[in-house]
Amino acid sequence: MAKKEGPPPGFWTDDKLDELSTRGDPDADDLVLAYFDDTGLRVEDLLGSMVRNLHLPPDEHTPKIAKYLADRPLLPYWVDHDAVARCQGMFGRVGPALGLAMLVNSFPASYASSRGTRILTYTGRLSDAPKRRMMETTQLVWNSMQPGGLDPGEPGWIDARRVRLMHATVRQVLLADSTVTHPVDGQPVWLNEWGVPINQMELAAFLMPMTLTVFKSLDQVGLKLSRTEREDMLHTWCVIGHIIGVDDDLLPMSLESAEEFWRKVQGREYRQSAAGVELMAAHNELLAELLPRFMRGVPTALQRMTLDDETCTILEIGRPGPSRHVFPVMRVVNRGMWRIERNSKTVAWVTDKAGRIGINGFLTLERGGERPTFSISDQIIASRNAMRSHRRRQAAASWQATQARTAQIQLAARAAVKRRALASRSVVQQGASTAATGVKRGADATRTMVVQRRRPEK
Does residue 307 sit in helix, strand or coil? coil
CA distance 370 to 375: 15
- Asked if 133 contacts 67 with a C-beta cutoff of 8 angstroms, the reply is no
Rounded to whole angstroms, how far apart are CA atoms 395 and 402?
A: 10
Position 366 scores a pLDDT of: 43
Q: Is residue 68 part of a domain?
A: yes
d(CA 370, CA 373): 9
The answer to whether residue 358 is domain-embedded is: yes
* Cα–Cα dist 12/146, whole Å: 33
- Say how many domains are in the chain: 1
Q: Give the integer Cα–Cα distance in Å for 340 and 335.
A: 9
CA distance 166 to 50: 6
Angle at 115 between CA 110 and CA 120, to 5 degrees: 65
* 86 CB neighbour count, 10 Å cutoff: 18
Report which of 269, 203, 253, 270 is spatially closest to residue 11, judged by C-alpha positions: 253
Residue 42: its pLDDT value, please?
62
Range of the domain at 240: 14-375
Task: Judge whether 432 lies within some domain.
Answer: no
Residue 362 belongs to a domain: yes
Rounded distance between C-alpha atoms, residue 164 and residue 141, angstroms: 15
Backbone angles phi, psi at 146, to 5 degrees: -75, 150
In-domain check, residue 86: yes
**Number of helices (H), then strands (E), in the chain:** 19, 0
User: Would you call 21 exposed, middle or buried from its count of C-beta atoms within 10 A (0-12, 13-18, 19+)?
Assistant: buried
Q: Provide φ and ψ at 113, rounded to 5°.
A: -80, 110
DSSP codes of every residue in 113-131: BHHHHHHHHHHTSSSS-HH
Q: How far apart are CA 308 and CA 206, in angstroms?
A: 18
Beta strands of 183-315 (E only): which ranges? none
What is the per-residue pLDDT for 390? 52
**What pLDDT is recorded for position 41?**
64
- pLDDT tens, the chain, 458 aa long: 556 778 888 999 999 999 999 999 999 999 888 887 777 666 556 655 555 555 555 555 677 877 888 889 999 999 999 999 999 988 877 777 787 778 788 888 888 887 777 777 666 554 455 566 677 777 888 889 888 999 999 999 999 998 898 888 888 877 876 666 666 666 777 777 788 889 999 999 999 999 999 898 888 777 788 999 999 999 999 999 999 999 999 999 999 999 999 999 998 888 888 888 888 888 888 877 777 777 777 788 878 877 888 888 898 888 776 766 565 655 555 555 555 555 445 444 444 454 454 455 555 554 443 443 333 334 333 444 444 455 556 667 777 778 888 888 888 888 888 888 888 777 778 877 787 787 778 777 777 877 777 766 55
Whether this model's pTM surpasses 0.85: no
Quote the distance between the C-alpha of residue 259 and its chain's center: 16
Cα–Cα distance list, 328 to 59, 102, 139, 300, 333 (Å): 55, 20, 30, 15, 9
**Cβ–Cβ contacts within 10 Å for residue 429, how many?**
10
Determine, yes or no, domain membership for 220: yes
Instruction: Please report whether residue 159 resides in a domain.
Output: yes
User: Which of 375, 352, 379, 394 is CA-nearest to residue 148?
Assistant: 379
Which pLDDT score, from 0 to 100, does residue 388 have? Answer: 47
Position 162 scores a pLDDT of 87
Q: What is the pLDDT of residue 325?
A: 58
The answer to whether position 443 is within a domain reads: no
DSSP 249: G
Q: Judge whether 22 and 196 are in contact, CB under 8 Å.
A: yes
Inter-residue contact 130 to 107 (CB < 8 Å): no
